[in-house]
Amino acid sequence: MLKGKAAIVTGSTSGIGLGIATALAAEGCKLMLNGFGDKAEIEKLRAGLAERHGVEVAYSPADMAKPAEIREMVAAAERRLGAVDILVNNAGIQFVAPIEEFPEEKWDQIIAINLSAAFHAIKAAVPGMARRRWGRIINIASAHGLVASERKAAYVAAKHGIVGLTKVVALDHANDGITCNAICPGWVLTPLVQKQIEARAKAEGLAVDKAKEELLKEKQPMLQFSTPEQIGALALFLCSDAAATITGTTHAIDGGWTAQ
């Protein structure tokens, strides 16, 4: 479906980003991976994706808090892969505290990585998409882009901002062959969340499965995690010809979290 297209997926060395990158590669899409981690592990991941799916896979260590590095990542993808047809803004961080105790440096960091990075990447990638009259921009927001939770001021503000940015980009480029949409996951069973569950189980003396259920119950009517693979499948649909007129929208994949 996407053979010959080229994509950047930020924050794609694990979790949701890796799920999306894998789905794109399986459809024949060339990739620029991005994220932090052990260099040897990232190289193993890059080479494995390239070998399994027969596509070119590059890697950028760009720091999403640094606009110049984001611009260079886009330029490097255009040089190495020939284009940036698909941009998935996925990289994100979290910090939790009451607003009166929220460290200002954490606010600045979360806004930079979770929101401003998407602006800088889109700004850099859109001119090429407009010239080619084809582009797909997918912003990974969150259920917290639609509703709020306590103690998450920066994250909720950034994810609401991502939803607004998505709508504006969609309007700005509605007739340029470019779509821009947001995916809003609820609980996703990533390695990071699995560690949180295990820590909670240990602290509260619960079985791991019970700790999972308790975590889900706090927000989701459906007591089931979404998976990175399911989010990858939704991203693929938004890149497809079937979704050519879907733009400026939010797609909740959240077990009913935001239906309440």
In Å, how far are 95, 204, 217 from 209, measured between CA atoms? 25, 13, 12
Which tokens sit at 179?
A: 């779509």
Q: Which residues are catalytically annotated?
A: 155
Closest alpha carbon to 107 in 168, 65, 68? 65
Cα 34 from Cα 169, distance rounded (Å): 23
Contact 7, 29 (CB under 8 A): yes
Measure the CA–CA gap between 96 and 152, rounded to whole angstroms.
5
**Contact by Cβ (8 Å): 87, 137:** yes
CA distance 58 to 127: 21
Residue 71 CA to residue 158 CA, distance in Å, equals 20
Q: How far apart are CA 122 and CA 87, in angstroms?
A: 8
